Each structure stands twice: as structure tokens, then as C-alpha cells.
Amino acid sequence: AGIEVPGLDLAVSSDVPLGAGLSSSASLEAAVALAAAELAGRADDPELRHLLIQAAIRAENEVVGAGTGGMDQTVALLAEEGSALLIHTRDFRTEPVQLGLAEAGLELMVIDTRVKHTLADGQYAKRRADCDAAARELGLEWLSDATPADVERLTDPRLRARARHVVTENQRVDAVVELVRAGRVAEIGPLLDGSHASLRDDFEVSAVELDVVVEAAREAGALGARMVGGGFGGSAIALIRSTDAAAVGKAVVAACHERGLTEPGILTVTSGPAARRLP
């Protein structure tokens, strides 16, 4: 049912950079959805958030025309402070994963390449179509059910690469969760590196700017780094020791200058809570 409020104006204020691969569109969708829930008197209904997630996904898929999944919307509406969010996208079950970065003397650095990207330009949809085609060829409803051996049975090199990324990325996610829950968050760096290599080589969604800042961050002491978001620009993240923040940031900016690239934006971030009502 629609909500009709004559003369209503919606004001939006955000500090999420636009087009930086940091879920700005999902953040806007979550904010508008919660505003609508507030008008309907249901902002405090915890079950409603799951319905709002599905509505936000439809907004991306059917209105914007971007064939995205629901990761960004789910995090925007369900995240817990200080935690990552493990999402089982088959049924959208979620589990918070307490990161413990500060206790380990670590930080997450976000490196915004300032190269704008859009998920509605067809590239993301092509990757999704490749994954669907790979699943059909393997006779699977879900590509995530494929094994490494299944991947090697794919005859098309492009589909094999796309499927290999999906399968190995799921393995990396499970490995990261296991390490973090064991209090070994400082050991996830190589998994971040492996993720970037897979996104670059098998999924082919990286960009020169992303590769440069990721490599520069590693060489300057980052424990691991990878691109984030839909790719083709946007941002990368680096896991760093808090004491190395200045050196890593300086090295990343210098590397971009040396390559004649746009100077990136650098910020360290903490894991915040989901969108919520203002007091």
C-alpha cells in the first residue's frame, strides 16, 4: 500500500561518496525506506527491515536497471556496530561477525580512486549473466553449489573464469569468518589479496586505478588489500596497522601521482551500525 502525504518534502544528508563503490545507492534506499516506515508508524518493527531489504533490491533491479544482489541493502539495514555481516544470500539469513580491529591494533583504510563507476552500464549485468549461464551448463540452480572440479568442467574459458571467482570467493569468505572468530583478524590479509586477484583476473571488474592503489598499499605495509563494490572504478580497502596509516596513505597518493592518475581520497573507517531513526 502506498503512503500519500500531500506537500511532503524529503531531505537527504549523507557523507557517503557518490560513485565510489561504497554503497551510496543502497544507503539512500535504506534511508528512504525507513523514512516511509516512520510515516507508517512501523519504524520500530524489526521484521519490517527484511521486507524493506527486498523492496530496495527491487528498486535497483527493476527501476534503476542494475542487476545487483542484496548485499549492500542488507548491510545498510541490518549491520551491527563493530561487526562485519555474514550474509547467506540464498535465504538472506545474516550473522554478525565481531571484527575486533581496534583490539588488534588494526584499521581499515578506504582508498577512493575518484574514478566514477555505474552498475547500470551493462558490465555488472554481463557478469551476472555469465554466472547464470555457468550454473545452467553445470545443471545447478545456484552457482555457489559448484565445486572446484565442477568449475573445470566448463568448456567456455570466460564462464570457467567467472565461476572460478564465485567458488573461490565463497571459500575465502568462509576462511575470513573462521579466522576473525578465532581472534586472528590480522591473518586475513592474504585472503584480501587473493580476492582482489580473482576480481581482477577471473571476474575482470578491476581497473588500473584500483590495481595501482592496492599494490601501493601492500608495498607500504598493508596486511592485505582489495577493491570493493561493483568494480570498474570506485574504492579499495586495505587492512593496516594503526601505526602505518600515515605511511600507507602517503605511498598510495604518491603511486597515483607517479602514474598520472587522479589523486585518491584516503580515510580510515570503523564498522558502524545499520541505518536507524534519528532521536
Grid cell digits, residue 184: 586472528
- Please pick, among 72, 112, 150, 202, the residue that the annotation labels catalytic: 72
Residue among 176, 196, 197, 198 at smallest CA distance from 188? 176
pTM of the predicted structure, to 2 decimals: 0.88
Q: Mark whether 72 is an active-site residue.
A: yes
Count of residues in the chain: 279
CA 241, CA 228: separation in Å to the nearest integer? 20
* Strand intervals (E) in the chain: 83-88, 93-98, 106-112, 224-227, 235-241, 265-269
Residue-range domain boundaries for the chain: 24-96, 97-269
CB-count exposure of residue 139 (10 Å: 0-12, 13-18, 19+) = exposed
Instruction: Give pLDDT tens digits for 16-68.
Output: 777 777 778 888 888 888 888 888 887 777 788 888 988 888 888 888 777 77
| pLDDT tens column, 179-232 | 999 999 999 999 999 999 999 999 999 999 999 999 999 999 999 999 998 888
Q: Are 124 and 130 in contact (CB under 8 A)?
A: no
CATH tag, 97-269? 3.30.70.890
Cell of 192: 584480501
